[in-house]
Amino acid sequence: MTADLLENAPDVRPSQQPMAEGAVLLRGFAKSLEADLLAELSDIVAQSPFRHMVTPGGHRMSVAMTNCGSLGWVTDRSGYRYDARDPEAARPWPAMPPSFRELARQAAAQAGFGGFSPDACLVNRYQPGARMSLHQDKDEHDFGAPIVSVSLGLPAVFLFGGLKRADKPQRFRLEHGDIAVWGGPARLRFHGVAPLADGEHALMGRQRINLTFRKAR
């Protein structure tokens, strides 16, 4: 899908739900584009399949991951980092589709962060029981750009905490097509995903896909 098609997509008038200063949920913002997003996603995964990465501490992540864009986020025993190449395929990550980039730009603008131009899209696959522990996104060089996180498939419980790990997180239910955006004073808030409940999504089966857009460099 081109940027023109995106701009001419049906106006679904998504509702906005504030999470904190600088953080908002755009309910249903991506739903009208689901077919195009999933078609592009299929091409990305064919080039760089999902894999369960290992943290520096030796923990195998329950979430399977891949990336698209000029940079991809990776973790292994040597640390967390962005890399221009898929270490398993030994070639650059798949290019970020224009439709992905435009959706991220429009969502960021809707949330009050104009001019967002991501260079990395982390693609996370959650299957029942998979979770993401509370963490900060701080491997990027510049924290001035927001994080844009798109939910597809099964619903999940998003944990949105404070600037300290000990801060009690708020819990938000994310549905298919919802987009969470946080930046500015919320940019370094801790966040995570509770263990995914089992279920069957009409379009995507027993899984949740999360597209997380970042400006890494």
CATH of the domain at 42: 2.60.120.590
Whether 203 has a binding-site annotation, put simply, is no
Is 191 assigned a ligand-binding role in the annotation? yes
How many domains are there within the chain? 1
3-state secondary structure of 184: helix
Q: Mind giving me the DSSP string for 92-126?
A: EPPPPPHHHHHHHHHHHHHTT-TT---SEEEEEEE
Q: What is the mean pLDDT of the chain?
A: 94
Evaluate if residue 182 carries a pLDDT over 70.
yes
Q: Confirm or deny that 182 is annotated as ligand binding.
A: no
- CA trace torsion 180, 181, 183, 185 (10° rounding): -50
Determine if residue 213 is labeled as part of a ligand binding site. Answer: yes
The reply, when asked if residue 59 is annotated as ligand binding, is no
pTM: 0.92
147 labelled as ligand-binding?
no
81 assigned to a ligand binding site: yes
Calculate the alpha carbon distances from 153 to 46, 124, 201, 205, 207 in Å: 19, 12, 6, 7, 6
Residue 142's pLDDT band, with cuts at 50, 70 and 90, is confident
CA angle (118, 123, 126) in 5-degree steps: 145
Region 127-155: mean pLDDT is 97
Residue 4, H or E segment? helix 3-7
Query: Does 124 show up as a binding residue in the annotation?
Result: yes
The answer to whether 126 is a known ligand-binding residue is: yes
Mean pLDDT calculated for residue range 36-50: 97
Q: How confident is the model at residue 8 (pLDDT cuts 50, 70, 90)?
A: very low
Structural domain boundaries, residue 30: 3-10+19-214
For 60, half-sphere exposure in the C-beta direction (CA atoms, 13 angstrom radius) is 3
